[in-house]
Amino acid sequence: MPRRVYLETFGCQMNELDSELVAGRLRTLGYAFTGESAEADVVLFNTCSVREHAEQKVWSRLGELKARKADDPNLVVGVLGCMAERDGEALIRRMPVVDVLCGPGELDKLPTLLDNAVRTRASLAADAPAEWPRGLRSAREVALQGNTSRRSATLAAAQDTLEMLDLSRAMSPTDGEGMPKRSAYVRITRGCNKFCTYCVVPFTRGAEVHRPPEHIIEECRRLADAGVVEITLLGQTVNHYRFEHGAAVTVNGVTQPQKGRSYTGGHRRDPFAGERVTTFADLLARIHDAVPSIQRLRFVTSYPRDFGDDALEAMRDHPRICRYLHVPGQSGSDRILGLMNRGYSVGEYIEFIDRARAILDQPEIGRPLAISGDFIVGFPTETDADFEATVAMLRRARYKSAFIFKYSARPGTVAIDKYPDDVPEAVKRRRNNALLAAQDAIGLEVGQSNIGRTMPVFVEGLSVRERKRRAAGACSAHGSVMLTVGGRVPSACGAGPSHGEEAHEESRAVERVQLSGRTDTDHIVLFDLPAGARVEDWIGRLVPVRITGATALALSGSPITA
């Protein structure tokens, strides 16, 4: 009987990709996966340390496992990702249920760690001194990079076996729920060199390392062959991608990832682009042209200071690259941006937004540019005036959407040592709500500007509402439902007169199934599956949708099927 693994992912898209790669690797080694933690022999949490709140969730999950582990010492519990790297063995001291710690830079070692943990568990439990608590009668398996051993040279990167994890990616034609998989993440850069003072990422994920363009293009090609039509390129500062071919190291015939080296002579254009250097703009164009069956090419997250005109022009000139930029601004106050070590002023940020719009915003041909951002409110010393400047910048940038976070002081960062967390929680909350309200008003206007347009929508699957309805016992269990257009939407099976077969059939006959997809501007679009259509046939299709409504968060409309 194969070992059953439960793997839960917290945090960002980078973690989602890491989890997918780890799961693929473990599957090929004979592990099976379960969606129920209670059924698993191995419980893994892939964690995030960006904000304290994300860590608290993991602590409580680990706490829940204490009783179970006391009854079943053979249960293996692993903490992967940024929390493992940041807390190190202190995490095990606080939570002795944990057997395996594996940082995000060491995930290639996870199979060995798990294998050791699984194989040694029984014998250790038997041999341990009787006075030890049962949960402690085990060896720990630990793989962490440690801040001092951050990859710091091209040669170190050359020995980077982590690259093998990306390279050996299992190309699965279905997702975890058996639905066709049409959308995938591809990493182009690991780590970050920016050292924003509030951020743990440079410490947990290490220095910036760029993957060779050939590896990236090959991975895109293999994903496309497996049926993927939308690819999102990932990097903490994705547009900082730059690969110097002259400096590349080859081991056993394979070009190795490369430590990030910036061209610092100006941000508009890289004079070395072309043969010797693959810039971000080159990479976009190369993927676009090399893999024509990829209908949508997107990327996150961009760093405002590093955007050259060349990358914006590549977006404009290659029709399957999405008109969407996620460019965190973080604050609208120059003083706070300085304390954050963001490396740009408000003026420079706005100059970038205007430049991107000048090059890319083409509503007259149905291709507007959409921009989203991130903001932190309540950074140490932030005054009402600083905050008002942030509101002004958010209004000026006219984001499609924005993620707004309350500052969370993170151990190990520069900010926690240098700047006392002096903005009271109530003030952070008030500013958070005020900024959200300002963004909602703008998001609504931006959304409404799309009404009347027909926009190609990439169909992702059932809408959140539809999933909740099904989870609550709604009827259309098989994903293929006969529909009557214009029928009412029952709230759930249980809302009918009985749970009998007749009631079931009746609600199936009148039900609409709501799907969710995205425009190439990253707008969520909600629409009803046409009568007689099957959900699984629509997932991954690009469908023209006439936009008829908008809220601050989503558009709605009708698919044009003729």
Q: Does 238 bind ligand 5AD (CB under 6 A)?
A: no
For residues 97 and 234, which CB has a smaller minimum distance to ligand 5AD in the complex? 234
Nearer to ligand 5AD, 50 or 80 (CB): 50
Stretch binding ligand 5AD (CB under 6 A), from 69-77, 401-409, 522-530, 553-561:
401-409
User: CB of residue 354 vs ligand 5AD: minimum separation in angstroms?
Assistant: 21
Of 352 and 407, CB closest to ligand 5AD: 407
Given ligand SF4, ligand 5AD, none, residue 194, with its beta carbon under 5 to 8 Å by kind, binds ligand SF4
- Taking CB under 6 A as the criterion, which residues in 169-198 touch ligand 5AD? 198
373 is a site residue for ligand 5AD (CB under 6 A) = no
In angstroms, the Cα distances linking 88 to 99, 195, 234 are 12, 20, 26
Quote the least distance from Cβ 270 to ligand 5AD, whole Å.
Answer: 25
Rounded to whole angstroms, the Cα distance separating 309 from 279 reads 12
Asked if 196 and 336 touch (Cβ cutoff 8 Å), the reply is no
For 413-454, what is the HEC assignment?
A: CHHHHHCCCCCCHHHHHHHHHHHHHHHHHHHHHHHHCCCCCE
Report whether 206 contacts 195 (CB < 8 A): no
Give me the residue label for tokens 């379960």: 34
Tell me if 400 sits within 8 A of 370, measured CB to CB.
yes
Q: How far is the CB of 310 from ligand SF4 (least distance, A)?
A: 21
Q: Is the distance from CB of 235 to CB of 301 less than 8 angstroms?
A: yes
Our measurement of the distance from residue 206's CA atom to the centroid of its chain's CA atoms, rounded to an integer in Å, reads: 18
Asked if residue 82 lies in contact with residue 49, where contact means CB atoms within 8 angstroms, the answer is: yes
How many whole angstroms separate alpha carbon 441 and alpha carbon 55?
Answer: 32
Find out whether 11 and 82 touch, Cβ atoms under 8 Å: yes
List the one residue from 349, 407, 419, 538 that touches ligand 5AD (CB under 6 A): 407
Residue 49 interacting with ligand 5AD (CB under 6 A): no
Closest distance to ligand SF4 from the beta carbon of 50 (Å): 8
Closest of 237, 192, 195, 235 to residue 216, by C-alpha: 235
Minimum separation from the CB atom of position 203 to ligand 5AD (A): 12
Which of 204, 255, 408, 516: binder of ligand 5AD (CB under 6 A)? 408
Of these partners, ligand 5AD, ligand SF4, none, which one is at the site of residue 237 (CB under 5 to 8 Å by kind)? ligand SF4
Q: Min. distance of Cβ 161 from ligand SF4 in angstroms?
A: 23
Q: What is the 3-state secondary structure (H, E, C) of 78-96?
A: EEEEHHHHHHCCHHHHHCC
Q: Which of 19, 45, 49, 51 binds ligand 5AD (CB under 6 A)?
A: 51
Binding site for ligand SF4 (CB under 6 A): 192, 194-196, 199, 201-202, 236-237, 303
Q: How far is the CB of 297 from ligand SF4 (least distance, A)?
A: 22
Is 278 a binder of ligand 5AD (CB under 6 A)?
A: no
Min separation Cβ 394 and ligand 5AD, Å = 13
Tell me, what DSSP letter sits at residue 530? P
CB of 337 to ligand SF4, least distance (A): 12
CA distance 279 to 269: 10
Ranges within 303-342 binding ligand 5AD (CB under 6 A):
328, 330
Beta bridge partners of 402: 373
If contact means CB under 5 to 8 A according to the sort of partner, which of ligand 5AD, ligand SF4, none does residue 192 touch? ligand SF4
Judged by beta carbon, residue 192 or residue 346, the one nearer ligand SF4 is 192
368 near ligand 5AD (CB under 6 A) = no
Q: Does 402 bind ligand 5AD (CB under 6 A)?
A: no
Output b/e per residue, 150-185; b: 16+ Cβ within 10 A. Answer: ebeebeebbebebbebbeebeebeeeeeebbbbbbb
Q: Which of 466, 453, 512 is nearest to 487 (CA)?
A: 512
Q: Are 233 and 186 in contact (CB under 8 A)?
A: yes
Interface residues with ligand 5AD (CB under 6 A)? 50-51, 198-199, 328, 330, 374, 376, 405, 407-408, 410
